[in-house]
């Protein structure tokens, strides 16, 4: 991996926090993600299962983590299974973790590190002492994948081998824990944000009429990777002109034209943690008066929304209030009629014609990170704040997005140093590259 080593204190603490919310006599099993095929003998790049990484720091394929805090034998309370290497693997794929390196990475004693092919032999010494087996699944409101994961295969196999154990869902516990970021996690997120800012500042004097969207993508990727990022935190959206009104535009193949606004939803990852930034820029370096008006409206909504990301607020109430703020701005822009708004269906407000997505989501190891929308906001949670206005008939879409850490007394904008005001944007775009 490109990132610098992470202190294993984070992973030791995360395992301890999980142990505190397990039922007595419980064993937890987590598997690494599969390496997914493309075509012929090709494979996609490996991305570790986020829960396994969160609890171990191990960023290697074919890894299994088993936790059993109540096991009478101390060796079997935290057990890590790794892919055993060989001279052939070393030649073709490179170095794999040794047991000593796994201990340094995870904080799990090397006496409790085994090879993956030893799993059945070791696990049978653990499982019959347990009453509950916690298994992981990718439970997420946005997940609709039909690909059978290693986790899904494991659930079927465990139920066949150990039918009389009580099976439990690990996901709700991980969602609860991961929603509150530890100080080390905030530092990793902040590094992803720092790298994102470096890429963004590099772009400002580069963008001009005639540049292609994919050239902008290339500039960002260059800057991200040279600063120890694996690359983009998510597929970059580089949408000029009317394409900015397509929420998930990813073709990035148009030439940017004079007078257009380009919407950039782009950010870096670092050590599996993800930033999430959106900015809207005038291709020629100067906003028109109409573009300024819409931009200022979005910026106003963002500033007001940030004030609501505080402890004790609730997801639905927060979004309803942001909707009311957006409604007022759209009336001011002449896009909505005040009298029509007064008569609107409250379950289908008119502002959704121009602002059809949510304002915030959890952020962390996943870009749309895990968390419970019914849980009150708490210190340590990290949210995006990303209002937008999309006017298809004008070919104009503007969205702005920053990442905020909720604190006991309010919040901290982790992207506060990234330019967002019109005057600063225009000034930086006219500097010599």
CATH of 9-178, one of 3.40.50.300, 3.40.50.720, 3.40.350.10, 3.40.1080.10: 3.40.350.10
183-429 matches 9-178 in CATH topology: no
pLDDT in tens, 327-346: 999 999 999 999 999 999 99
pLDDT in tens, 200-234: 999 999 999 999 999 999 999 999 999 999 999 99
Ordered by start, the domain boundaries in the chain are 9-178, 183-429
Catalytic residues: 41, 248, 265, 276, 357, 361, 368, 386, 390, 399, 401
Q: Are strands 261-265 and 237-240 parallel, antiparallel or unpaired?
A: antiparallel
Q: Is the pLDDT score of 1 beyond 90?
A: no
Quickly list DSSP for 251-281. Answer: ---PBP-TT-EEEEE--BEETTEE---EEEE
Q: What per-residue confidence (pLDDT) applies to 143?
A: 65
Tell me how far apart the alpha carbons of residues 97 and 185 are, in angstroms, rounded to a whole number.
Answer: 23
Tell me how far apart the alpha carbons of residues 346 and 332 are, in angstroms, rounded to a whole number.
Answer: 20
Residues pairing with 401 in the sheet: 278
Q: What per-residue confidence (pLDDT) applies to 407?
A: 98
Tell me how far apart the alpha carbons of residues 35 and 116 are, in angstroms, rounded to a whole number.
Answer: 16
Q: How confident is the model at residue 130 (pLDDT cuts 50, 70, 90)?
A: very high
Tell me how far apart the alpha carbons of residues 398 and 379 are, in angstroms, rounded to a whole number.
Answer: 30
In this structure, are residues 419 and 337 in contact, taking their beta carbons and an 8 Å threshold? no
Our CA dihedral for 72, 78, 81, 82, rounded to 10 degrees, sits at -150
Angstrom CA distances, 78 to 44, 94, 103, stand at 30, 27, 11
Q: To which H or E segment does residue 407 belong?
A: strand 402-407
Second CATH level (architecture) for the domain 183-429: Alpha-Beta Complex (3.90)
Our CA dihedral for 277, 280, 281, 287, rounded to 10 degrees, sits at -150
Tell me how far apart the alpha carbons of residues 376 and 383 are, in angstroms, rounded to a whole number.
Answer: 13
289-308 and 422-429 helices, crossing angle to 10° = 120
In this structure, are residues 131 and 166 in contact, taking their beta carbons and an 8 Å threshold? yes
pLDDT in tens, 71-103: 999 999 999 999 999 899 999 999 999 999 999
In this structure, are residues 208 and 197 in contact, taking their beta carbons and an 8 Å threshold? no
pLDDT in tens, 218-227: 999 999 999 9
Q: Calculate the CA 92 to chain-centre distance.
A: 32
**Both tokens of residue 80?**
């890590």
The residue to which tokens 């963004």 are assigned: 200
């Amino acid at each position: 991996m490109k990132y610098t080593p992470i202190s294993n204190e984070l992973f030791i603490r995360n395992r301890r926090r999980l142990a505190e919310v397990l039922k007595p006599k419980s064993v937890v099993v987590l598997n690494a993600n599969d390496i997914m095929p493309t075509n012929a003998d090709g494979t996609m790049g490996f991305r570790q299962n986020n829960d396994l990484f969160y609890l171990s720091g191990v960023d290697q394929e074919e890894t299994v983590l088993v936790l059993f805090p109540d096991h009478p034998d101390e060796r079997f309370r935290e057990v890590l299974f790794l892919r055993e290497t060989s001279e052939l693997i070393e030649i073709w794929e490179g170095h794999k973790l040794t047991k000593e390196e796994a201990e340094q990475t995870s904080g799990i004693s090397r006496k409790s590190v085994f090879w993956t092919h030893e799993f059945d032999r070791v696990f049978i010494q653990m499982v019959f002492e347990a009453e509950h087996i916690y298994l992981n699944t990718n439970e997420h409101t946005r997940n609709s994948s039909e690909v059978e994961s290693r986790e899904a295969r494991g659930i079927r196999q465990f139920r066949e081998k150990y039918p009389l154990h009580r099976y439990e869902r690990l996901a709700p516990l991980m969602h609860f824990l991961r929603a509150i970021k530890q100080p080390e996690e905030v530092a990793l997120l902040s590094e992803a944000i720092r790298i994102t800012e470096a890429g963004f500042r590099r772009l400002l004097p580069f963008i001009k009429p005639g540049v292609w969207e994919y050239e902008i993508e290339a500039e960002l990727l260059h800057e991200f990777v040279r600063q120890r990022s694996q690359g983009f935190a998510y597929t970059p959206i580089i949408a000029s002109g009317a394409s900015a009104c397509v929420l998930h535009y990813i073709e990035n193949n148009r030439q940017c034209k004079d007078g257009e606004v380009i919407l950039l939803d782009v950010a870096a990852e670092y050590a599996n943690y993800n930033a999430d930034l959106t900015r809207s820029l005038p291709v020629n370096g100067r906003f028109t008066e109409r573009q300024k008006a819409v931009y200022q409206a979005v910026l106003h909504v963002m500033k007001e929304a940030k004030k609501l990301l505080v402890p004790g607020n609730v997801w639905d109430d927060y979004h309803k209030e942001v909707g009311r703020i957006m409604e007022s701005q759209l009336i001011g822009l002449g896009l909505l009629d005040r009298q029509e708004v007064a008569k609107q269906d409250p379950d289908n407000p008119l502002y959704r014609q121009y602002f059809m997505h949510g304002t915030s989501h959890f952020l962390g190891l996943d870009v749309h990170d895990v968390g419970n929308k019914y849980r009150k906001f708490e210190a340590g949670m990290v949210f995006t704040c990303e209002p937008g206005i999309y006017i298809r008939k004008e070919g104009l879409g503007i969205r702005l997005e920053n990442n905020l850490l909720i604190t006991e007394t309010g919040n901290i904008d982790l992207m506060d140093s990234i330019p967002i005001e019109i005057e600063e944007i225009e000034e930086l775009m006219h500097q010599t590259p």
